[in-house]
Structure 1
């Protein structure tokens, strides 16, 4: 259908008016990109106890199919990563630190990297501040084992004690190994440097199954290191296992408990420990905090064929 003269004139007038209308519309600037993540802490209750998991960043391991798992070939490792929609060219290994507030004490489990290791780690301090936790409030530090990503946060970059009021609780077998003459020289020197600023009377050596506070008891989980210890938290009807390094990333050796990670010092014992602990946790439906699990690292394990599956706890805005 053709346009008559009247319609053509009206269209032309509208076209001429358009620039004026555009000029009258105020410009809207784009919202600047933040370029950083939200604070990384998460809280939950275990009975009367309040648990806070604080993220300490991550370390990116290149080519996880090569050398990360001692007894699985590259194709199998990469297939496991692809199954969980993870990249096969690298694996991001997360660090998660757990605080338990009993109402009488604030107990920290491991101390993270301290910002002394990977450039992508060391976020613990900002996240503690965001969570309202100051180092001087910590009354006890229960250590799972002495690898650098678990004890480096004991000290500042200048080598001073980071937690001035804390008693350090360490597994006796772990202490004996790293402070003795069997440990490799370089990591042993690192360990001694982390504990050195703390007075000897504030370092308490205990058995791996000792009670470290009411309702909080060690679980011997040796293998990853000679004295590796996980911790059970019980309050009222609530329970929790603070895992340490019984597994690394759940895609790797939670789904495949027979896979031996390069960091396991006694791989066969570590595998036995892993299977025994997860059989128990799956049967009892006990929630777990995984040190190297994706943040907020809280969930359950269940049997899945020859291995185990991770079921994350549903996030909630309420504590």
Structure 2
């Protein structure tokens, strides 16, 4: 059972990292939602033409289901949807999953998880273990691709001792995202995100130039891996398409938060979006395109294995994970 102090630290850190709305850290500070149950399966292999996609489970946490979790819908509607789906009306179970692309001799990691900064420690920061269970070592990774700079996506790049976890990898980041989060002016202008800015600096300050690759999204960054700007959740949020053998896998990062809420109601806005209107426009554009296909879709906060299909419903979409 998670101790109260652990819970408070968890909520406070996640709030400042952009995973909770501002001010929620005190909203249910006395609550104890217990620990998520981790799946026995920590990785999942999927063939995509000549490429293999491997989902790598990083963990899960439980956050208060607060009235500002969805910023533009009545809280009663949000709780009613949760009830209809058999979900808790007290908390949201937020899962974390990155992906490894194995293309010939290339080993390309899409996001790195919480690393050693996640809370609760018992159920977060397991991506590296999942990678090893899948048969790979950190030194095997030649490329790391980051969707955006929230702590749950970048913290696995560097451990608390300051060592870079993937020493042989080139780390590809959107120049727009890097510029925003490394800006002292932006940090001063956003005191509610102070911890998030500090975490970015912990990860990227001192990263060798030979490792860091700042680029403009909209280009192929590795064979069969294409970057697509999807700004809104953060200023430089970027999604990726992996293409092989006439098939496509879309890794959409945080374009859709928990799909039970934000795929079924794509018009709903999550509190962690920095520019919710831009994020909404990108989400609607993406869903209109993918609805006409049988493409695979993966999301960082989708329930494990976090890869499957978005099936159109009369209202919104349902995420159908691969069996």
Task: Tell me if TM exceeds 0.5.
Answer: yes
Residue from 264, 268, 280 that aligns with 2:289: 280
Which residue of structure 1 lines up, in the alignment, with residue 52 of structure 2? 50
Distance 2:83 2:307 in 1: 22
TM-score normalized by structure 1?
Answer: 0.84
Question: What residue ranges of structure 1 are gaps of 5+ in the alignment?
Answer: 1-34
Shift of 1:179: 1.5
What are the Cα deviations for residues 24-73 of structure 1, in whole angstroms up to 9, with x where unaligned?
xxxxxxxxxxx9752410000111011110111112102x1422111122
Q: What does 1:206-285 correspond to in 2, within 5 Å?
A: 206-285=215-294
- 1:182 is aligned to 2:180: no
- 1:118 is aligned to 2:119: yes
The answer to whether the Cα contact below 8 Å between 2:38 and 2:59 also exists between their aligned partners in 1 is no
- 1:202 is aligned to 2:211: yes
The answer to whether the Cα contact below 8 Å between 2:38 and 2:60 also exists between their aligned partners in 1 is no
Which residue of structure 2 lines up, in the alignment, with residue 139 of structure 1? 142
Which residue of structure 1 lines up, in the alignment, with residue 87 of structure 2? 86
What are the Cα deviations for residues 166-197 of structure 1, in whole angstroms up to 9, with x where unaligned?
00000111111112222434422210111224
Q: 1:151 is paired with a residue of what secondary structure?
A: helix
Change in 2 beyond 3 A, CA 1:294/1:71: same
Shift of 1:90: 1.0
Q: 1:260 is paired with a residue of what secondary structure?
A: coil
Which residue of structure 2 lines up, in the alignment, with residue 171 of structure 1? 174
Give me the CA root mean square deviation: 1.5
Shift of 1:238: 2.0
The answer to whether the Cα contact below 8 Å between 1:39 and 1:130 also exists between their aligned partners in 2 is no
What are the Cα deviations for residues 224-250 of structure 1, in whole angstroms up to 9, with x where unaligned?
001100000001222100110001100
Which residue of structure 1 lines up, in the alignment, with residue 160 of structure 2? 157
Shift of 1:299: 1.2
Shift of 1:161: 0.7
Distance 1:42 1:236 in 2: 20
The answer to whether the Cα contact below 8 Å between 1:254 and 1:307 also exists between their aligned partners in 2 is yes
Which residue of structure 1 lines up, in the alignment, with residue 14 of structure 2? none
What are the Cα deviations for residues 291-313 of structure 1, in whole angstroms up to 9, with x where unaligned?
10000011111322342222222
Distance 2:295 2:102 in 1: 19
Question: What residue ranges of structure 2 are gaps of 5+ in the alignment?
Answer: 1-36
Q: Give 1 or 2 for the bigger CA radius of gyration.
A: 1
Which residue of structure 2 lines up, in the alignment, with residue 296 of structure 1? 305
The answer to whether the Cα contact below 8 Å between 2:229 and 2:237 also exists between their aligned partners in 1 is yes
Distance 2:319 2:196 in 1: 32
The answer to whether the Cα contact below 8 Å between 1:230 and 1:242 also exists between their aligned partners in 2 is yes
The answer to whether the Cα contact below 8 Å between 2:73 and 2:268 also exists between their aligned partners in 1 is yes
The answer to whether the Cα contact below 8 Å between 1:47 and 1:239 also exists between their aligned partners in 2 is no
Distance 2:62 2:38 in 1: 18
What are the Cα deviations for residues 58-116 of structure 1, in whole angstroms up to 9, with x where unaligned?
12102x14221111222111111112211111111000010001012100011000031
Distance 1:170 1:127 in 2: 23
Q: 1:276 is paired with a residue of what secondary structure?
A: helix
Task: Count matched residues.
Answer: 279
